[in-house]
């Protein structure tokens, strides 16, 4: 009699226990169910999207090995999210992970969702008893509505408010939803009063969120705020190296450098470009040239087509805004009418160019890297407490990017 999906999974679990730590097996593999089997693929049911992403990213290789060994034939693995439930004490999360914070929190594609999943993964590895709940604001909304329809509001509230750590992604989507904001406000308060931890991500500063209750905004702004900026060149190259390692590929270094140099602001687009190049290289069975990659990724090059942003162009833009000459920004004088615009220009140069701190400091009259770092901190702090300063800096940033 042919082995069923359940029988193969049971055998695979026995093999897994010899390959991974007991804690890992109990946390990630024991709750999984095998639900379907074809000749070359087995379907594994997991509690949520996060579990699916975590297993695919961290353990897919060993799963393929033990399942193929148990089935005595090669098997691919397909993950299927079940109807919900709790994964070994962790409430089921429902977010879709990115490929791949909240005052200047970070634009789309910079890895905010990834950071939430990293927090959840770290807790899963280091605090097995922690009840961690991950939700996007859209999923929080949908589950709230569903609980109302099924007359299960108490259960929904208990599930949310018993978490030790609540992770909410894209909180900006709560704007305009009055009843959901009311529910989230009380959930936030219950966890805060119980000294639990809450981590939120947003694609804009909290003060710029429209149609959000003032009492929610005050709570968002009362916590630790961390901005997420576009990665510099070295970080982009490191991301690509890590991605190709996870994919089991090796591209020429000049291609890695070319992609990292052309795609500067969106990590998802950066990783997607690498996947496309790697897939094409596998298809044609030979190494690609930089020229071939440029053509292959031509639809992504609108970032490349933009004229490179220089420190000098930033200095000119800031100088015009404050009715100064560029020479005043790079000179030694330090009155407030010059020092503050100079700090803004340094801060924008740090964010919008790939220049090192030393090079930026040199461009501003031979100042050292510590002066540049101090300028960035001053501007960031003032943006967080002064809406007018924030408006000026963000406006100048947009002008520099044109």
3-state secondary structure of 338: helix
Q: Distance between CA 269 and CA 53 in Å, rounded?
A: 19
* pLDDT value of position 364: 93
The domains located in the chain, with CATH, are 5-84 (3.30.300.180), 90-221 (3.40.50.300), 233-305 (1.10.8.60), 311-401 (1.10.1750.10)
In 10 A of CB 176, how many CB atoms?
11
Is the full-model pTM beyond 0.75? no
* pLDDT value of position 50: 59
For residue range 142-192, what is the model confidence (pLDDT) as tens digits? 889 989 999 999 999 998 898 999 999 888 888 888 889 999 999 999 999
For residue range 223-272, what is the model confidence (pLDDT) as tens digits? 777 776 667 778 888 889 888 887 778 888 888 988 888 787 677 778 88
Q: For residue 79, report the phi and psi dihedrals to the nearest 5 degrees.
A: -100, 140
Instruction: Looking at 230-298, list the stretches that DSSP marks H as alpha helix, in order from N- to C-terminal side.
Output: 233-247, 253-262, 267-284, 290-296
* pLDDT value of position 304: 47
* pLDDT value of position 24: 64
The angle formed by the CA atoms of residues 303, 288 and 255, to the nearest 5 degrees, is 45
* pLDDT value of position 397: 86
**Gyration radius of the chain over CA positions:** 25
Q: Distance between CA 68 and CA 70 in Å, rounded?
A: 5
Q: Distance between CA 256 and CA 242 in Å, rounded?
A: 11
In 10 A of CB 82, how many CB atoms?
17
* pLDDT value of position 368: 86
The angle formed by the CA atoms of residues 132, 133 and 139, to the nearest 5 degrees, is 170
Q: Distance between CA 81 and CA 54 in Å, rounded?
A: 13
Render 94-163 in DSSP notation, one character per residue.
Answer: -PPPP----SS---TTSSHHHHHHHHHHHHHHH-TT--EEEEEHHHHHHHHHHHHHTT-HHHHHHHHHT-
Of the candidates 136, 351, 152, 377, the residue with the CA atom closest to the CA atom of residue 265: 351
Cross-strand bridge partners of residue 79: 44
pLDDT by residue, tens only, the chain of 402 residues: 577 889 999 999 988 888 776 656 766 788 888 999 998 899 998 876 656 767 776 788 889 989 999 999 999 999 887 643 333 323 333 333 333 233 744 444 556 777 887 788 788 777 778 888 888 888 888 889 989 999 999 999 998 898 999 999 888 888 888 889 999 999 999 999 999 999 998 877 776 666 778 888 888 877 777 776 667 778 888 889 888 887 778 888 888 988 888 787 677 778 888 888 888 888 787 778 888 888 788 766 544 444 567 899 999 999 988 888 889 999 888 788 899 999 999 999 988 887 878 889 889 999 988 888 889 889 988 888 888 888 889 889 888 877
* pLDDT value of position 23: 54
- For 236, the token pair is 């982009």
């Amino acid at each position: 009699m042919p082995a069923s999906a359940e029988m193969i999974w049971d055998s695979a679990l026995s093999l897994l226990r010899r390959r991974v730590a007991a804690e890992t097996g109990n946390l990630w593999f024991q709750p999984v169910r095998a639900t379907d089997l074809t000749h070359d693929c087995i379907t594994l049911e997991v509690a949520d999207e996060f579990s699916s992403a975590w297993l695919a990213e961290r353990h897919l290789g060993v799963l393929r090995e033990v399942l193929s060994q148990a089935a005595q034939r090669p098997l691919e693995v397909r993950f299927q999210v079940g109807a919900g439930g709790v994964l070994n004490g962790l409430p089921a999360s429902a977010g879709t992970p990115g490929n791949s914070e909240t005052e200047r929190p970070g634009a789309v594609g910079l890895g905010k969702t990834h950071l939430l999943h990293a927090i959840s993964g770290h807790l899963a590895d280091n605090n097995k008893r922690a009840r961690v709940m991950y939700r996007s604001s859209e999923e929080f909304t949908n589950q709230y509505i569903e609980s109302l329809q099924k007359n299960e509001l108490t259960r929904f509230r208990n599930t949310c408010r018993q978490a030790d750590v609540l992770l909410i992604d894209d909180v900006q989507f709560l704007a305009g939803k009055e009843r959901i904001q009311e529910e989230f406000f009380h959930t936030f308060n219950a966890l805060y009063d119980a000294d639990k931890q809450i981590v939120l991500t947003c694609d804009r500063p909290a003060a710029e969120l429209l149609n959000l209750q003032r009492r929610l905004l005050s709570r968002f702004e009362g916590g630790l705020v961390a901005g997420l900026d576009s990665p510099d060149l070295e970080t982009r190259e490191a991301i690509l190296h890590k991605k190709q390692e996870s994919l089991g590929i090796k591209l020429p270094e000049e291609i890695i450098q070319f992609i990292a140099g052309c795609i500067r602001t969106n990590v998802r687009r950066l990783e997607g470009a690498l996947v496309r190049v790697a897939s094409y290289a596998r298809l044609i069975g030979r190494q690609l040239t930089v020229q071939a990659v440029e053509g292959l990724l031509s639809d992504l090059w609108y970032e490349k087509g933009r004229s490179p942003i220089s420190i000098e162009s930033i200095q000119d833009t800031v100088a015009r805004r404050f009715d100064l000459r560029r020479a005043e920004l790079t000179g030694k004088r330090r009155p407030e009418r010059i020092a503050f615009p100079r700090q803004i220009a340094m801060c924008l140069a740090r964010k919008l160019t790939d220049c090192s701190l030393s090079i930026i400091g040199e461009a501003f009259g031979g100042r050292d890297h510590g002066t540049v770092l101090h300028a960035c901190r001053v501007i960031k702090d003032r943006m967080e407490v002064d809406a007018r300063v924030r408006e000026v800096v963000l406006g100048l940033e947009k002008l520099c990017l044109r």
